[in-house]
A and B are shown apart, each in its own frame.
Chain A
Amino acid sequence: MTTFVELLVNGISIGAVYALIALGFVIIFKATEVVNFAHASLLLAGGYLVARLWPLVGFWAALLIGVAAAALVAAAIEFLVIRRANVASHSVLAIVTIGVDIVITTELTRQIGTDVLAMGDPWGSEVVRFGGVTLAETRIVALVTAAALITVFLLAFKYTGWGVAMRAAAEDAETAALMGVRLGRVSMSAWAVAGGLAAVAALFLCVFPTPGLDRSTSLVALKAFPAAILGGLDSTTGALVGGLVIGVTESMMSGYQNDMAFLGRGIGDVAPFLVMLVILLIRPAGLFGTKELARV
Chain B
Amino acid sequence: MYRYLAWTGVAAVLCLVPFYLDGFWLQTGLFAMSAAIGAIGINLLTGATGQLSMGHAFFLAVGAYAYVFFSAEPTARLGGLGLPTGLAAVLAVVVAGVAGGLFSPIAGRLKGAYLGIATFALIFGGQHVLFNAEHLTGGFNGRAVPELNLFGFSFGDTPELIVLQVPFGTLERLWFLGLALVALSMVFAQGVLKGRPGRAMNTIRDHEIAAGVMGVPVARYRAGVFVLSSMYGGLAGVLLALVFQRTVPEYFGVLLSLDYLAMIVIGGLGSVGGAVVGALFVSLLPQLLTKYSDSIPLVAAPGTPGGVSPAEAARILYGAAVVTVVLFLPGGLLGLIRKIRLRPPRLRLPLSSPSPSPETRSPHVP
Where the two chains meet, the residues of A that have a C-beta atom closer than 8 Å to any C-beta of B are: 33, 35, 37, 81, 84-96, 98-103, 106-107, 110, 172, 174, 219, 222, 225-226, 228-229, 233, 264-267, 269-270, 273-274, 276-277, 280-281, 284, 292, 294-296
User: In the complex, what's the smallest C-beta–C-beta distance from A77 to chain B, in angstroms?
Assistant: 10
- Contact status B265-A99, CB under 8 Å: yes
Which of B28-36, B69-77, B185-193, B319-327 lies at the interface?
A: B319-327
- Complex Cα distance A296/B114, Å? 23
- Contact status A92-B254, CB under 8 Å: no
Which of B11-19, B121-129, B290-298 lies at the interface?
A: B121-129
- Contact status A267-B128, CB under 8 Å: yes
Pick the residue among A96, A102, A276 that contacts B326 (CB under 8 A).
A96
The answer to whether B315 has its CB under 8 Å from any CB of chain A is yes
- Complex Cα distance A95/B46, Å? 10
Q: Residues of A contacting B141 with CB < 8 Å? A: none
The answer to whether B316 has its CB under 8 Å from any CB of chain A is yes
- Contact status B205-A96, CB under 8 Å: no
* B94-144 contacts to A (CB < 8 Å): 105-106, 109-110, 112-114, 116-118, 120-121, 124-125, 128-129, 131-133
User: In the complex, what's the smallest C-beta–C-beta distance from A278 to chain B, in angstroms?
Assistant: 10
Pick the residue among A91, A229, A269, A292 that contacts B117 (CB under 8 A).
A229
Q: Residues of A contacting B258 with CB < 8 Å? A: 98, 101-102
Pick the residue among B213, B269, B316 that contacts A92 (CB under 8 A).
B269
- Contact status A172-B363, CB under 8 Å: yes
The answer to whether B330 has its CB under 8 Å from any CB of chain A is yes
Pick the residue among B46, B117, B315 that contacts A226 (CB under 8 A).
B117
The answer to whether B242 has its CB under 8 Å from any CB of chain A is no
- Contact status B124-A106, CB under 8 Å: no
- Complex Cα distance A37/B113, Å? 10
Point out which of A86, A94, A228, A274 has the most chain B C-beta atoms below 10 A from its C-beta.
A94
The answer to whether B178 has its CB under 8 Å from any CB of chain A is no
Q: Residues of A contacting B309 with CB < 8 Å? A: 110
- Contact status A98-B106, CB under 8 Å: no
Nearest residue (CB) in A for B209 is A294
Q: Residues of A contacting B318 with CB < 8 Å? A: 102
- Complex Cα distance A45/B358, Å? 37
- Contact status B114-A229, CB under 8 Å: yes
- Contact status B113-A90, CB under 8 Å: yes
- Complex Cα distance A178/B50, Å? 31
Nearest residue (CB) in B for A92 is B326
Q: Residues of B contacting A91 with CB < 8 Å? A: 46, 50-52, 112-113, 116
Q: A102-B315, A265-B132, A296-B365 are in contact. Are A280 and B118 (CB under 8 A)?
A: yes
Pick the residue among B112, B116, B125, B209 that contacts A274 (CB under 8 A).
B125
Q: Residues of B contacting A229 with CB < 8 Å? A: 114, 117-118
- Contact status B205-A89, CB under 8 Å: yes
Q: Residues of B contacting A270 with CB < 8 Å? A: 124-125, 128
Q: Number of contacts between A and B (CB, 8 Å)?
A: 150
- Complex Cα distance A294/B360, Å? 10
Q: Residues of B contacting A277 with CB < 8 Å? A: 106, 118, 121
- Complex Cα distance A276/B125, Å? 12
Apart from A96-B322, A100-B323, list 20 A-B contacts with CB within 8 A. Answer: A35-B113, A35-B117, A37-B116, A88-B206, A90-B113, A93-B326, A94-B52, A96-B327, A98-B261, A106-B315, A107-B312, A174-B363, A222-B120, A225-B120, A264-B132, A266-B131, A267-B128, A277-B118, A284-B109, A296-B365
Nearest residue (CB) in B for A174 is B363
- Complex Cα distance A106/B113, Å? 23
The 5 closest A-B pairs by CB, nearest first: A99-B322, A102-B319, A264-B132, A35-B113, A273-B121
- Contact status A273-B120, CB under 8 Å: yes
Q: Residues of A contacting B118 with CB < 8 Å? A: 229, 276-277, 280
Q: Residues of B contacting A292 with CB < 8 Å? A: 361
Pick the residue among A85, A96, A295 that contacts B366 (CB under 8 A).
A295
Q: A102-B262, A273-B125 are in contact. Are A233 and B326 (CB under 8 A)?
A: no
Pick the residue among B206, B321, B360 that contacts A99 (CB under 8 A).
B321
Q: Please list 9 pairs of residues, one from A and one from B, whose beta carbons are closer than 8 Å in the complex, sorted by A's number.
A: A88-B206, A88-B359, A95-B322, A96-B323, A102-B319, A107-B312, A226-B120, A270-B125, A270-B128
User: In the complex, what's the smallest C-beta–C-beta distance from A132 to chain B, in angstroms?
Assistant: 33
- Contact status A100-B319, CB under 8 Å: yes
- Complex Cα distance A274/B106, Å? 13
Q: Residues of B contacting A103 with CB < 8 Å? A: 315-316, 319-320, 323
